[in-house]
Amino acid sequence: MAQTQALVDVLKKELRRQGKTYGDIADALKLSESSVKRLFSERTFSLIRLDAVCEWLGIEISDLVKMMEESTQLTSQLSLQQEKELVSDTKLLLMAHFLMSRWTFSQIIETYDISELEGIQLLARLDRMRFLQLLPGNRVKLMISKDFEWISKGPIQKFYEDKVQMEFFDSSFSCAGEYRVFLSGMLTRNSNAEMTRRLKRLAHAFNEMSNDDESFPMDEKFGMSVLMAIRPWGVEVFESLRRSEAKKL
C-alpha cells in the first residue's frame, strides 16, 4: 500500500510538471472528472488504467517507478553512532547483514536463534535508522542507496578487519566454488585507475547477479563472499630492506 501511494504521488507530480489537470485526464480516458479525482484520492488505479495515463503523458510505467525511487530519500551512509549501535548488538548486525543479502525476515528468524518478537524489535530499530522501511507483514524495503558504504575506518570496517578478514582467508581456496589469485606487478597511475574501474564493474555485476537470483528458492542458493582489493603495496618483510633513498613517497 505504501508503494502504491508513493507511485500515485509521483504521478500527480508528473501531471503538475506537464501542466495537466484531472479534467484533461477525464477527457483522455472518457471518464467523469469526479471519477478521476476518486482514482487519485483512493489510489485505486488498475494496471490497465495506470498504463493508459502513462501513455497519455508520454511515459512508461517503468519511468514512473524510477521517478518514485529517485524521489525517495535513500541512506548512503549511517552515522558513527548508528554504526556503533550495530556493532554492539550481534543480532542487530546479523539482521542488517542478511537483509542486505536479500533474505526475508522469516528466513532469518527460521535460520537463526531470534524469536519473532525479538526480530520485529530489531526491524523497528533498523527502521528508525532509516536503514529500511518496515512494511505490513514484517516485510521490509531497504532504504539504502546503490552507493551505500560504511564509514571509512569506522566501527563496521574495524569489525570486519578484526573479526571477519582473517577468518575469510583461513582457507586453501581449493574447494568447489572457491578461487583465489594474488597478482603483483608494476602499473602506471593510469593503469591503476583503469584496474580500479574494472573492479568496481565486477562488484556491480556481483550485486546484479545477487538481485537476479533473489527469486530462487533458498535451497538453491548459498552464501557467497567476494573480496576485491587493489593498492600500491609491497610485502612488509621486503619493504623493510628497502634502501632509504629508494623508499616510495
DSSP state of 219: G
The residues spanned by each domain of the chain are 2-71, 74-170, 171-237
Rounded distance between C-alpha atoms, residue 190 and residue 131, angstroms: 36
Which pLDDT tens digit goes with each residue over 145-177? 877 899 999 999 999 998 888 888 888 999 898
> Is the model's pLDDT at 90 over the cut of 70?
yes
Could you tell me the CA-to-CA distances from 177 to 12, 182, 201, 222 in Å, in that order? Answer: 49, 17, 21, 10
Q: Please report, rounded to a whole number, the percentage of residues in the chain having pLDDT higher than 70.
A: 92
Q: pTM to 2 decimals?
A: 0.62
Give the residue ranges of DSSP H helices in 43-169. Answer: 47-57, 61-71, 80-88, 90-100, 105-111, 116-128, 155-159, 165-169
Which pLDDT tens digit goes with each residue over 208-241? 888 788 878 888 888 888 888 888 887 676 767 7
Q: Is domain 2-71 in CATH 1.10.260.40, yes or no?
A: yes
Please tell me which residue, 69 or 41, carries the higher pLDDT value: 41
CATH architecture of 74-170: Orthogonal Bundle (1.10)
Q: So what's the pLDDT on residue 50?
A: 85
